Amino acid sequence: MVKELINYLAEPVYSFTAVTAFFVYTIKKPEVVGSKKFGLYSLIAILVIFAWMLADPVFFSVISLPDNIPIIILNAGVLGTWWYAIHKGVENDKRIAAGEGPIEGTPENREKVWAWPNLVYTELFAGIACTVFLIVWAIFFKAPLEEPANPTWAPNPAKAPWYFLGLQEMLVYFDPWMAGVVLPGIIVVGLIAIPFIDTNPKGNGYYTFAERKFAIAGFMYGWVVLWIFLIQIGTFLRGPNWTFYGPFEFWDLHKAVAENNVNLAEYFWIKGLGMGLPKNIFIREIAGILLMGVYMVLAPIWLTKKWGQKYLQSLGTIRYYLLMFLVLGMALLPIKMYLRWFFTLKYIIAMPEFELNL
């Protein structure tokens, strides 16, 4: 009963919304999420729930695959460091508000210490601990080896390595040219551009939250919600044919899922205007083209008028519009996800003639 409920709620439309809601709460109330109490209770809750889930044979069979162990370590690392960074930021914010300055800047912490032994020994112990960790891991979990390569028989599902499963999950909502090329390109360009866009001089060299709220919110959304959480969906919730399966749901090859996604052009011409699709592809896709034009060109202008004037002033034109482009590019993903979930929308612009589907 509980397991069925969890299977149901794990559906991306609910789980993604829940993660997003929790993320928004974190940004709004970092002092709650970053408190020791919250951290401790969440840790206990996560451990108890995880132990309970492990007792389920179906969940255990997926989670105990040798190649999924790294994702458990990743999750522990991401959640732990995520909470810790917020915790440290909130502590520093309190100090800054009280006029004391960040903890990293106290006279005691500014004091210079010898690299030998302070730094060299830390590195040595970290290296030893890491070696022990790796050896234990290597002894208890054999590296996976399946049947010899057979180009004529594809396993189902055929999954990319886990660190690319976020991208593979995007394939549900976008064609490969977007999910595999354009969006990763935007990620790389966006990451490299961060220091040149973010002109806020505060928060350089210490943990803080309040002083860099916008930058932290943007980065964390991309990192935790879009990247890490999509990896979870792609790894644990996608079975044969990339169909959704709940964490306790057996990967039944014959699970039938109704796929009747509709292009925007069909909504516009057939359902909206009650006529057939025009022959000319550009006229046929006019609604999608206009919509994308509004989104990528008019929306930035409108947003600027409404809310962005002071940022435009402080960042300058190039920085500001680059930021707009990156944020809107990133937002395309959740927007397309919700359009799919709520309106079964397949493509906003569908031009298979040019392999250009968006």
**Considering only residues 36-75, where is the footprint of other proteins by CB under 8 A?**
67, 69-70, 73-74
Q: Which residue, 113 or 258, has its beta carbon nearer to other proteins?
A: 113
Minimum CB distance to other proteins, residue 35 (Å): 17
x/- map, 256-275, other proteins, by CB under 8 A? --------------------
Out of 37, 142, 271, 310, the only residue in the binding site for other proteins (CB under 8 A) is: 142
Residue 335: name the closest of 193, 173, 102 by CA: 173
Pairing state of beta strands 350-351 and 356-357?
antiparallel
Minimum CB distance to other proteins, residue 290 (Å): 19
Rounded Cα gap, residues 339 and 332, in angstroms: 10
Out of 164, 295, 311, 325, the only residue in the binding site for other proteins (CB under 8 A) is: 164
Residue 148, preceding peptide bond in cis (omega within 30° of 0): no
Query: Rounded to 10 degrees, what is the CA torsion of 65, 69, 70, 73?
Result: 160
Q: Which residue, 23 or 141, has its beta carbon nearer to other proteins?
A: 141
Q: Which of residues 172-231 bind other proteins (CB under 8 A)?
A: 175-177, 179-182, 188, 191-192, 194-196, 198, 200-208, 212, 216, 219, 223
Rounded Cα gap, residues 167 and 62, in angstroms: 20
Minimum CB distance to other proteins, residue 301 (Å): 26
CB-based contact 102:96 (threshold 8 Å): yes
Out of 23, 38, 50, 141, the only residue in the binding site for other proteins (CB under 8 A) is: 141
Rounded Cα gap, residues 38 and 171, in angstroms: 36
Minimum CB distance to other proteins, residue 169 (Å): 12
By the rule CB under 8 A, 329 interacts with other proteins: no
By the rule CB under 8 A, 144 interacts with other proteins: yes
What is the distance of C-alpha 115 from the center of its chain? Answer: 38
By the rule CB under 8 A, 325 interacts with other proteins: no
Residue 243: name the closest of 69, 46, 12, 50 by CA: 12
Q: Which of residues 16-35 bind other proteins (CB under 8 A)?
A: none
Minimum CB distance to other proteins, residue 204 (Å): 4
By the rule CB under 8 A, 130 interacts with other proteins: yes
CA distances from 15 to 50, 247, 344 (A): 17, 12, 18
Minimum CB distance to other proteins, residue 206 (Å): 5
Q: Which residue, 122 or 309, has its beta carbon nearer to other proteins?
A: 122
Q: Which residue, 17 or 200, has its beta carbon nearer to other proteins?
A: 200
- How many C-beta atoms lie closer than 10 Å to residue 181's C-beta? 12
Q: Which of residues 70-129 bind other proteins (CB under 8 A)?
A: 70, 73-74, 77-78, 81-82, 85, 88-89, 101-102, 104-105, 108-120, 122-123, 126-127
Helix (H, G, I), strand (E, B) or coil at 351: strand
299: tokens are 């929306």
Query: Rounded to 10 degrees, what is the CA torsion of 36, 41, 47, 51?
Result: 170
Q: Which residue, 12 or 166, has its beta carbon nearer to other proteins?
A: 166
Out of 57, 99, 151, 276, the only residue in the binding site for other proteins (CB under 8 A) is: 151
Number of residues counted as binding other proteins (CB under 8 A): 95
CA distances from 50 to 23, 78, 98, 140, 320 (A): 21, 16, 40, 20, 43
